[in-house]
Amino acid sequence: MTVQQFPKDFLWGGATAANQLEGAYQEDGKGLSLPDVLPGGKERMTVVNQPDFDFSLNEDKYFYPNHIGIDHYHHFKEDIALFAEMGFKCYRFSIAWSRIFPNGDDQEPNEAGLKFYDDLIAECLKYNIEPVITISHYELPLNLVKKYGGWKNKQLIDFYEQFARTVLTRYHDQVKYWMTFNEINSAAHFPIMSQGLAVSNGATDKKNIFQAWHNQFVASAKAVKIGHELDANLQIGCMILYATTYSYDANPVNQTATMKANQENNFFCADVQVRGHYPAYTASLLAKYNLQPQDIDYTDAELDLIAQYPVDYIGFSYYMSAVEEVTQANHESVKGNLMGGVRNPFLKTSDWGWQIDPAGLRIALNQLYDRYQKPLFIVENGLGAKDQLDENNYVADDYRIDYLRQHIQAIGEALDDGVDVMGYTPWGCIDLVSASTGEMSKRYGFIYVDVDDAGHGTFNRYKKKSFAWYQQVIASNGANL
């Protein structure tokens, strides 16, 4: 099957996040991070949403899967070699903030933590794999959450600046592609992961979420400034969660609700980070929560910084689409990545209830490019499924191949539409711990890792059927799907 020709330098690769695969949660001076206190299992988000959740460890009661991940910390050479065998042109990973600044507010970085990333980057470059780094991916140092209350506190801007300056200074001559915050807009629905706000420290107060966003916008602009001063060629992007949102029907009431939902869920953060200023609908969005612009603590100097240092490209995750409907009280609902919604009768769902919609990716690419005219990088996409290892240590994951094939076709169609797409890094290219449920059994990888939900297993790596398939997709630059 042939689709439109992908650009010659298209960045094929895969994506992970430190907290979900590294393990070694206290090794070489690493401090505790937020995901280190998130228990495993489907009750993860329920536990976090209880008013008495106080971010402390309770090992008698819970298992903490992020403590061991897939032990990538000790397997990274083997893992990068497997990525190289697939032909990866790039590899998106994050730097665990608490490996570098164990408490977040330390004066000096932890040299042993930096050494791990020196080695990881060197390993990528050995195979000509371009590193793509997310500076902050759902892994705040726990101390910044407990002592400072997370991103609603302006002091975090300085701590982030110090962290970003440290890693940008150290790696700018080896790493060209960066992102400032993973899925910054996900806080609209679930502010714990990106802002460190749980019920117990103010997540129920929308004012905190908008304040935290503002602080993150300033921090992001500072990272862009630092990066561009080090090297004007660095490409520093934002990263948003994008769920293409359809109106349930042609009822103008639902259409209007869909327009508003798009502004709030998909565009608000990117509008600020890409255009360099708050969008015109900001006051009306705040008013929805009985807030006014003056309720947010901001200065002219901060707005200037945001204006001067917009991002260079838009990274985004795309797993599923959503449906907006406000006219009926009872509608069938579905689950989703940190947000659920109305069921779309035209779509099938994954084992975890996420609606599968390849055409929605083409629409997302067109909507984002029409709005911003900046290069787009699909830095997450994929199918979380219950893979079964057979007696030959093989997984025939045709369902995953089907999912990815259809989404790559959709990218090809968007290229035909004239959209500028830089690359594609499917999520969890090697099995890792799920962010929303803490399960290992929700697998996305081309590589199976033998570890279960309780952390038991050999940690051996096995190639799934999709490994060879993706290898030939990359080798043919997207021509053979």
Give 207: exposed, middle or buried? Use CB within 10 Å, 0-12, 13-18, 19+: middle
Write down the catalytic residue from 139, 380, 413, 439.
380
Q: Which is nearer to ligand BG6, 303 or 364 (CB)?
A: 364
Angle between helices 465-475 and 398-416 (to 10 degrees): 20
Q: Which chain residues interact with ligand BG6 by CB under 6 A? A: 17, 20, 138, 182-183, 241, 317, 337, 380, 384, 427, 434-437, 442
* Identity of residue 395: V
Radius of gyration of the chain (CA): 21
DSSP class of residue 201 equals: G
Our answer to whether residue 332 is catalytic in this structure is no
Q: Which is nearer to ligand BG6, 368 or 385 (CB)?
A: 385
- Joined together, the tokens standing for residue 132 give 């793509």
Q: Which is nearer to ligand BG6, 179 or 221 (CB)?
A: 179
Q: Which is nearer to ligand BG6, 35 or 113 (CB)?
A: 35
- Joined together, the tokens standing for residue 160 give 């982030």
248 by DSSP, 3-state: which? coil
Q: State how far the Cα of 409 lies from the Cα of 178, in Å rounded to an integer.
A: 26
Residue nearest to ligand BG6 (CB): 436
Q: Which helix (H) or strand (E) segment is 307 a member of?
A: helix 300-308
Instruction: Give residues with Cβ within 8 angstroms of 394, minimum separation 6.
Output: 462, 463, 464, 465
- Joined together, the tokens standing for residue 204 give 């129920």
Q: State how far the Cα of 140 lies from the Cα of 18, in Å rounded to an integer.
A: 11
- Joined together, the tokens standing for residue 128 give 């000509």
Q: Which is nearer to ligand BG6, 216 or 434 (CB)?
A: 434
Q: Which residues are catalytic?
A: 380
